[in-house]
A and B are shown apart, each in its own frame.
Chain A
Amino acid sequence: MRIPFAPLLGAAVLTVLTLAAPQARAEGTLAQVKARGHLVCGVSGGVAGFSMPDGQGRWRGLDVDFCRALAAAIFDDPERVRFIPQSSAARFTALQSGEIDVLARNTTWTLSRDTAAMNFPVITFYDGQGFLVRKALGITSVKQLDRATVCLQQGTTTELNLADWFRTRGLSYRVVTFANSEQALGAYESGRCDAYSTDKSSLYGERLKTARPDDHVILDEAISKEPFAPGVRQGDDQWRDLVAWTHYAMIDAEEAGITQANVVALRKEGLSPDVRRILGLEGRYGEGLGLTVDWADRIVRHVGNYGDAFARNLGEGTPLKIPRGLNALWTQGGLQYGPPIR
């Protein structure tokens, strides 16, 4: 008897694909996370202030605190989250394959990434490409860098941004690129370049690595938009809402003056209507997200509001001393604006 191998094989492959594909997405991410008992969060694992393990191996940073806030909202326990460092090459497949639930890895939200790989529910940090220059030069604006030599790291969008910015303004510049940021910074320090350029949030950390940090300044201006946003899988609206509103809750709490320090006291006093709504004393808003009514209260109690997290990881009290800048609340001239919880 002749066995028809080819059709059999084809049928087997199709069966595997049809069985495999929908099952992975059959359940919402929130249900999977609840069933598993912990959140899995993809982080960068080595960016000062965003995600970095301390001397005891405990993760710290703004991205880390965002994931802890998510865990706090879901489980009332900020420790029920597992951090998996992702390389920039593997981060998108890790999210798509379901290995991680959310990608909080200072990833810039762009159109191509949004349409191709994932969804970006909310911007958690507004960054932009900036410049590190010697204080002695007395430069205050990027425009004064005409005919300057700029040190860069290879293979990033910094080179393209630089070309766009200088060309549209008719300024000339020279670029020296290096394989990694260490070499680029070293070349800048040794005087080979007039400026060193990368994302502003990294420049604050890079400046500290120089021999005399006080001899260098970071220009206020940014020449590109780098909105850092957490990433989620496409096609899961509930999870997308939850990730977005976790950030909004931290923003709204800051705006309403609810901090990690006073949240317990405020809950007892229960004053203004918006505070009462955020803390879940009025209305049942958290249930729409698949959570409990006190979801935002949990976030602030365990992790703090956005300002708390910023101050703890990036702000004046840390070695980085990154100013709030664009990340201040909209009421204070920044861009952080949370839709009302009501």
Chain B
Amino acid sequence: MRFVRDHIIPPAPPPRRAGGPLAWMRNNLFAGPGNVVTTLLILGALAWIGPALARFLVLDAVWTGTSGDACRPEVIGRPVGACWAFIGEKINYLAYGSYPAAERWRPNLFFGLLALGAAWMLWLGAPRRDLGAWFVFAILPVASWLLLSGAPALGLASVATALWGGILVTLVVSAVGIVASLPLGILLALGRRSDLPVLRFACIGFIEFWRGVPLITVLFMANVMLPLFLPGDVTVDRLLRPLIGIALFASAYMAEVVRGGLQAIPAGQGQAALALGMTRAQAMRCVVLPQALKVVVPGIVNTLIGLFKDTTLVAIVGIADFVRVLEAARADPRWSAPAIPATAYAFAALFYLAVCFSMARYAGFIARRLAAGDRR
């Protein structure tokens, strides 16, 4: 047998007990030839992009000014990077769109409620997280709608959705997509694995239909075609239409992600739960679903990040989302300078990066924490 050694391996010296930054670099950055090449390539790329980025975003940036002239190199006599003064002047419009200035405490309160709901659900040590779930999935949607669109009965002047815009609309669309797609997606995934044929085929039909059409088609149907089919006196709010479309679209994708998790759980888990005397609902709720959702956390977060970025598509059907208001803001002739378009897109990139990166980091934390049980 060639696999059997015919001599004894000579004893190797003990591993060097190395510490400190030098040893860390040797182990992590320059451990082998491939490792060295990769490290050098990445360092080279950083040296190439980093200074230019720093110059554009910070060092050469213009922070104050009242018109585009403040961001013209020949006017201020130095190279100009990003024109943050432009963002500063337009920030109210970028945040709220045309929401009436006197009523802007309402979007602010909405942002606060959203942050509270998110923190309650996301901080694992938070008290009464069962109440938090009720808050996020039941109270928050109703309260937000009343708060933002107004309820004359409660003394809140109504604000037409045509006036909403900017970060407010982007957050509303994403929040609706996320809050609606998670429970709907789980229900659809369970329905798809049901033994009842009518329910199963209804769920399959729903999922395959929404996965089969592009989101942009859904939005066009909702905002351009649907009003032609409806009788003239029936009007559905023009922000609500794409919201419903996005929620249904996202839940179909979420359903498939959750189904992946359900299929990964061995049938024995559910059977064992039934053998212990649990009902089918209890078995699903207490044994199968928790394990399945744990498996698909990366998939869920992936879908949510995709959803968050897809919401910019609503701009095409005339909803003034964050990207759309940026485009409108930079049409201002008072602020037209060569640096403005790059500034606007850099700001958009930073905004999306900040939100998506924090979602990804949080998902990483959750995944590590859930995996703690497997490492034991």
Interface residues of A (CB under 8 A from B): 16, 19-20, 23-26, 40, 45-49, 52-59, 82-87, 89-90, 93-94, 96-99, 182, 204-205, 208-212, 318-320
Contact = CB atoms under 8 A, between A and B. Distances in A.
Nearest to A321: B333
19 contacts: A20-B230, A20-B232, A45-B320, A49-B333, A53-B165, A54-B93, A55-B329, A57-B96, A57-B97, A58-B98, A83-B98, A84-B318, A89-B224, A93-B228, A97-B228, A208-B336, A209-B340, A209-B341, A212-B74
Contacts of A26: 232
A96 B101 CA distance: 32
Contact of B231 (A23, A83, A208, A211): A23
A205 B233 contact: no
Nearest to B67: A319
Report whether over half of chain B's contact residues are helix, strand or loop; otherwise say mixed.
helix
A82 B93 contact: no
Contacts of B46: none
A57 B232 contact: no
A37 to B, nearest CB: 11
Interface string B55-95: 00000000000001000111000000000000001101100
Contacts of A23: 231-233
Contacts of B318: 45, 84-87, 90, 94
Contact of B328 (A19, A52, A89, A318): A52
Interface string B313-342: 000111010001101110111101110110
A59 to B, nearest CB: 7
A208 B224 CA distance: 34
Interface residues of B, number: 47
B227 A57 contact: no
Contact of A55 (B92, B228, B316, B320): B92
Nearest to A84: B162
B224 A57 contact: no
Nearest to A26: B232
A204 B334 CA distance: 12
A88 B157 CA distance: 32
Given A24-B231, A211-B72, A53 B224 contact: no
A64 B253 CA distance: 41
Contact of B333 (A16, A19, A48, A94): A48
A80 to B, nearest CB: 12
A52 B333 CA distance: 10
Contacts of A46: 327-328, 331
B227 A99 contact: yes
Contacts of A94: 224, 227, 318
B325 A53 contact: yes
Contacts of A47: 331
Nearest to B328: A46
B99 interface: yes
A318 B333 CA distance: 8
A20 B341 CA distance: 45
A87 B334 contact: no
Contacts of A45: 318, 320, 324, 328
Contact of B336 (A55, A59, A209): A209
Contacts of A53: 93, 97-98, 165, 325, 328-329
Interface string B227-244: 111111101001000000
A320 B231 contact: no
Contact of B232 (A16, A25, A209): A25
A57 B98 contact: yes
A205 B228 contact: no
Contacts of A90: 223-224, 317-318
A46 B323 CA distance: 12
A83 B161 CA distance: 11
A97 to B, nearest CB: 4
Nearest to B88: A55
